[in-house]
Structure 1
């Protein structure tokens, strides 16, 4: 990584995490934890973190604001976390127009094509802390799409879905979310640690 470096995070409410109420505009979730980790472990490096998460967003919302919220900012790295609402809306708002895997992949591909920055693609996390839930079963296709796109665009893949799967399979009873989707502090920590490990080569 060349310094100074600008890292832009974009996604839904998991990324947003109250950034508008935060004087630093970082939010109170995994983006904040990554920022603080980089700050204390790389004090000599100028790393700027931008949070462009918006609660409720699906891939179609990212497409609508990509020019303004991503390309205009001219980041060096773009970290994308999207897909939970694309699936969740199929369960809780069946009356709205849905984003199925084919459209999700098409739009995600277009966003990657438009972006000159180095891409960091985060797998969608979980929908309910039960791997057999309908949401997690539907999520599989979206996770696979992110993995394919990471390979296609030589992006850094952050295996957040795999990390949450591994945690749930460990038998630990401590919750990672407040409602099956939105992270509590432990969930945010798992996301941040998984991101830092996937991106560790950038700081060497």
Structure 2
């Protein structure tokens, strides 16, 4: 059976220590997706590639898109970006910001390259949360970026993975169990929610 390459790219939530991991997967949601697929479909020959880098915004993805996505020629490319594009507006307002219009235009360029230069099916993950409070400033700012991801998914016939929705619904449940270590970076429960949301959306496509 042909090996199917699934490449996942993003920021620290995707990275999650991958460069210290012998398999290059890290200890986050990418690892959970990998472990689920290889144990559930042991003869399917999935190759999971993690090219997440902590601190990345969509502009950082653009700078490494050729080497870290296109050159891999994946069968599926899963993108999780947008958290730092918003978070930097809150914690580093002195730097040049990636506001919604720029986020949309740069993201569109990246997806156009995937369409033109690979045969990959595109999987777009909604950016998750900024603070475990539905009404936080970060989550309010994030709404425009989530909407842009929806628009791009439709425009590029991509599969939309509703990770933001999953986290917001969890917060609305008023559970007291935390999903992050600092409002952004996932603990094991947060990584599990990301992985299960991804798998529930994508698993049928991979069979």
Deviation (angstroms), 1:67 = 0.4
Deviation (angstroms), 1:171 = 1.3
Q: Secondary structure at the match of 1:33?
A: helix
- Post-superposition CA distance 1:4-36 (Å, at most 9, x none): 100000000000000011011000000000000
- Residue of structure 2 aligned with 1:182, choices 182, 185, 188: 185
* CA–CA distance in structure 2, aligned partners of residues 118 and 109 of structure 1: 15
User: Which consecutive residues of structure 1, in runs of 5 or more, have no partner in the other structure?
Assistant: none
Q: What does 1:92-107 correspond to in 2, within 5 Å?
A: 92-107=91-106
Deviation (angstroms), 1:200 = 2.1
* CA–CA distance in structure 2, aligned partners of residues 18 and 163 of structure 1: 24
* CA–CA distance in structure 2, aligned partners of residues 39 and 183 of structure 1: 23
- Provide the TM-score with structure 1 as the length reference: 0.98
* CA–CA distance in structure 2, aligned partners of residues 157 and 197 of structure 1: 11
Partner of 2:77: 78
* CA–CA distance in structure 2, aligned partners of residues 101 and 120 of structure 1: 20
Partner of 1:58: 57
User: Which consecutive residues of structure 2, in runs of 5 or more, have no partner in the other structure?
Assistant: none
Deviation (angstroms), 1:159 = 0.1
Partner of 2:161: 158
Partner of 1:29: 28
Deviation (angstroms), 1:201 = 1.7
The 4+ residue runs of structure 1 with deviation greater than 6 A are: none
Deviation (angstroms), 1:202 = 1.4
- Residue of structure 2 aligned with 1:192, choices 192, 195, 200: 195
* CA–CA distance in structure 2, aligned partners of residues 3 and 87 of structure 1: 39
* CA–CA distance in structure 1, aligned partners of residues 150 and 7 of structure 2: 20
- Post-superposition CA distance 1:154-194 (Å, at most 9, x none): 11100000000110111111000000000000000000000
Q: Secondary structure at the match of 1:119?
A: strand
Partner of 1:48: 47
- Provide the TM-score with structure 2 as the length reference: 0.97
- Aligned pair 1:128/2:131, yes or no? yes
* CA–CA distance in structure 2, aligned partners of residues 109 and 173 of structure 1: 38
- Post-superposition CA distance 1:48-68 (Å, at most 9, x none): 000000000000000000001
The alignment's C-alpha RMSD in Å is: 0.8
